[in-house]
Structure 1
């Protein structure tokens, strides 16, 4: 089979087309197009497709670049099977190895072992026979956040306290019967000061944004009304982000390191996004070219 493309940019079918009425969809489409044009500018023949396209022969492209495959966590089994199949046909950016490592938030424990300071976390494994009240009593935590180990866009993310544990017990038992969960003490500074997203290409810092939750909420994602502004990080924050990426099993072509000031006043990581993170190219258009140059270097 002849190679027809250098890079296929991966999205999901909801974002294949632009929208004049839905700003969220427009932003996804626009950012992917910035990457598309940056790749083309470097002479790379490029195509943009949904990852589950049934008609495309993936062996006809040198590489695929994960950008907005934002339904993978809702179709995890299907996505996992596809990932295994495609990895034998073309180069994955980031790689299958690092994607599988990063999909499950147990990766935070690996980073912690390598000296990266993470948000305090307790993991509850699938099938565990425990209640929310028991967990909060054992851990001596009052206000907490519960989330799945495989998730995105704040799926099944709940703020808990002694006042609402009973209300969430049923959903917790349903979730824990089929997937692992994690519990973290509520981080007050994320609400007060926000969360910083640091974007890196090939381990080098590029740009950052500050995300803040809307009044009355604790989720900083813009899906839930959160705000975003450009942010100039400190040297300490940049060093933290770059050290976090170096601690990965291999160097990712792109990474987003989400950090915050924890309840003790220290820099801590909330998440390390290596699969399909939003990278805010619409705010930093030159960064799309930095990513494209990294892709070209990997191909050569």
Structure 2
């Protein structure tokens, strides 16, 4: 993004989110990025964003978006709004017996256990009828259980990037051999792709259902259900990786969107 921002007369400065507020004194807008420990310190992270906003610094995305998006229970709200979601069971604490209950409830041979506040697939587990957790196993924090979707391995996971309310570009993410997690951390590979109109319409419906109209960016991740319909896995609006390698004009899009915000009241 840096060349495009410089061409637009903007300067990018990298500051650790834990830095003192005084270090942000000359900053007009904070663009969240690579704050990859926020999920383990979520309260502190949101409090810092609120403190920056209290000083008149614009934060993208705003703290209210971050607070809402940080807990994956937002998926329940999207489902209530008519968005196609993956069937999910929610727990304040997941025990080994809950995994067996979920397998029966979903009539599934395999499930995935995820943190309710998490990112990047970290702390995620997958269990099957033939590979149950050991007796006494606990997740140790609020979590969610979903049926494993074979399409994630067979077809991949689709990402739709939206910048300033408009669709920007698409990415198909494929897992490495023998792996189900699609993140590059686990050997996943990303490719640019042009979505079919019906798939883009489904992703756009997810974006339209989000209860905010001031997001600079959002990444909608989706996977295909056995019915053939895409279901939302995540609507990432905190500090998602936006796949600049798959979009030659991402820098220009972001620079233009930031400029509009700096020029508005």
User: TM-score over 0.5 for the alignment?
Assistant: yes
Deviations 1:260-285 (A, max 9, x none): 21122211111111011111112323
Q: Which runs of 5+ in 1 are unaligned?
A: 1-34
2:87 to 120, 123, 145: 120
Deviations 1:13-55 (A, max 9, x none): xxxxxxxxxxxxxxxxxxxxxx233222211233122211237
Are residue 258 (structure 1) and residue 225 (structure 2) matched?
Answer: no
Q: CA deviation at 1:290?
A: 0.3
The corresponding residue for 2:46 is: 80
The corresponding residue for 1:269 is: 232
Helix, strand or coil at the partner of 2:252: helix
Q: CA deviation at 1:126?
A: 4.7
Contact 1:36/1:47 (8 A) holds in 2:
no
Which segments of structure 1 move beyond 4 Å, counting only runs of 4 or more? 126-130
Q: 1:235 to 1:137 in 2, by over 3 A?
A: closer
Q: CA deviation at 1:88?
A: 1.2
Contact 1:132/1:169 (8 A) holds in 2:
no
- Separation in structure 2 between the aligned mates of residue 142 and residue 223 of structure 1, nearest angstrom: 26
Q: 1:205 to 1:40 in 2, by over 3 A?
A: same
Helix, strand or coil at the partner of 1:100: helix
Helix, strand or coil at the partner of 1:244: helix
- Separation in structure 1 between the aligned mates of residue 131 and residue 53 of structure 2, nearest angstrom: 44
The corresponding residue for 1:294 is: 257
2:4 to 38, 42, 50: 38
Give the TM-score taking structure 2 as reference length. Answer: 0.91
Deviations 1:111-145 (A, max 9, x none): 11111111221111258996332343444433100
Are residue 218 (structure 1) and residue 185 (structure 2) matched?
Answer: no
Deviations 1:223-272 (A, max 9, x none): 00011111111111222222211211112111111112112221111111
- Separation in structure 1 between the aligned mates of residue 162 and residue 39 of structure 2, nearest angstrom: 23
Helix, strand or coil at the partner of 1:117: coil
- Separation in structure 2 between the aligned mates of residue 169 and residue 240 of structure 1, nearest angstrom: 40
Contact 1:191/1:213 (8 A) holds in 2:
yes
Helix, strand or coil at the partner of 2:39: coil
- Residues 60-209 of structure 1: pairs in structure 2 closer than 5 A: 60-89=26-55, 90-126=57-93, 131-167=98-134, 169-172=136-139, 175=140, 179-209=141-171
2:201 to 212, 234, 239: 239
Q: 1:127 to 1:167 in 2, by over 3 A?
A: closer
Q: Which runs of 5+ in 2 are unaligned?
A: none
Q: 1:131 to 1:115 in 2, by over 3 A?
A: closer
- Separation in structure 2 between the aligned mates of residue 137 and residue 238 of structure 1, nearest angstrom: 33
